[in-house]
Amino acid sequence: MNLTLKIAPWVYSPSFRKYYADLKLFSDQLSGYSRLRKLFEKKMGYPLDLRNPQSFNQKVVWKKLFDRNPLLTLTADKLAVRGYIENLLGPKEASRILIPLLFSSANPAQIPFDELPDRFVVKPNHGCKMHIIVNGEKEKKRQMILDTSRNWLNTAYGLFHYEWAYRNIKPRIMVEELLQTKDGQLPRDYKFYCFHGKCRLIRASSNRFGKEERSAYFDVDWNLLPAYNPGYEQSTGSIIRPLVLDQAISLAERLSVDFDAVRMDLYIVDDRLYFGEYTHYDASGLARFEPTSFDFELGQHWKLVPHYWKH
């Protein structure tokens, strides 16, 4: 007797997932976010305080639950953010830091493979850690790109982690130029933690798309800090201070000016700066630091002001 259950296609639809996520959020609100509190304490090793959050991670969770700044959605959208940056910096400067966009569409079947170069990146505009790097052999990857892109478009990213900024983004597929250094390597990724328009922390990462991403934390003067995230490889070798570090910090601060706290991700390619993305929910508020005191020290730079975007 075959007892296999067939799941109706509408269960996988984005509209149903939003509905289900809203029910889950409402249920969690009634319980005082008991499940979220248990998860936070298990991951972080200390309680989640939403009444008077002090640590960086507590404040990220607070932001997920209560901050409804419409700019969060605009800048989390990897396609729409390009226009935001053009308005902020001006078209000429924006064109220098935006990765060239080769194509975008809500229909993956429209991707013009025959017109694309041999090297490019495919990703959706409404999520993170979803990308396909094509460094040659694009014909062999064509079907995989189409199948994966369709799955991405049906992914309700962030909904079940309370990441509100993503819920109203209309999913699209983007194709961008692949950034490479002169020696053909992928560029190092730099994350600038900015609070009220000032950079307070830098995370430098290497081998970002490999199996063992390595990173280290620095202050704005490029002093190595005694902090790390358990479970992630630490950089054991020396990471040289970028020649354009001051320009990168200045750019990150200018891009962050409209937010009380945001992680600005930039690439440095042979001393040229490129915009990566705005990250509003760093590790969804579950990025455990060692020592734990570092989490609270970082949180002191962030003054939570409800509805700050209206002031």
DSSP secondary structure of 70-97: HHHHHHHSTTTHHHHHHHHH-HHHHHHH
For 255-300, how does the pLDDT look when each residue is reduced to its tens digit (9 = 90+)? 999 999 999 999 999 999 999 999 999 999 999 999 999 999 999 9
| Beta-sheet pairing, 198-206 with 214-218 | antiparallel
Separation of alpha carbons 29 and 92, rounded Å? 46
For 111-129, how does the pLDDT look when each residue is reduced to its tens digit (9 = 90+)? 999 999 999 999 999 988 8
Mean pLDDT, all residues of the chain: 89
Among the listed residues 212, 213, 227, 230, the one whose alpha carbon sits nearest the alpha carbon of residue 43: 230
Q: Which domains does the chain have, with CATH numbers?
A: 49-72+91-98+181-311 (no CATH), 100-178 (3.30.1490)
Separation of alpha carbons 204 and 266, rounded Å? 10
Q: Whole-model pTM?
A: 0.90
Alpha helices in 194-291 (DSSP H): 245-255
- Cα 226 to its chain centre, rounded Å, is 24
For 10-45, how does the pLDDT look when each residue is reduced to its tens digit (9 = 90+)? 445 666 666 667 777 778 788 888 999 999 999 999
Crossing angle of helices 245-255 and 81-89, in 10° steps, is: 110
Percent residues over pLDDT 70 in the chain:
88
Q: Which residue has the higher pLDDT, 310 or 295?
A: 295
How crowded is residue 55: how many other Cβ atoms within 10 Å of its Cβ? Answer: 24
* Residues near 97 by beta carbon (within 8 Å), at least 6 away in sequence: 85, 89, 251, 273, 274, 275
- Using the structure block, give the residue that is written with the tokens 């590790």: 283
Crossing angle of helices 14-30 and 34-44, in 10° steps, is: 90
Among the listed residues 36, 1, 117, 57, the one whose alpha carbon sits nearest the alpha carbon of residue 298: 57
> Which two three-digit tokens encode residue 228?
């790390």
Residue 189 near residue 112 (C-beta atoms within 8 A): no
| Beta-sheet pairing, 214-218 with 233-234 | parallel
Q: E-assigned strands of the chain?
A: 101-105, 119-124, 132-135, 173-177, 188-195, 198-206, 214-218, 233-234, 261-269, 272-279
Separation of alpha carbons 168 and 238, rounded Å? 42
- Using the structure block, give the residue that is written with the tokens 């064509």: 142
End-to-end C-alpha distance for the chain, whole angstroms: 65
Three-state DSSP state, 166: helix
Strand partners, 104: 174
Q: Mean pLDDT over residues 188-212, rounded?
A: 85
Q: What is the pLDDT at residue 309?
A: 47
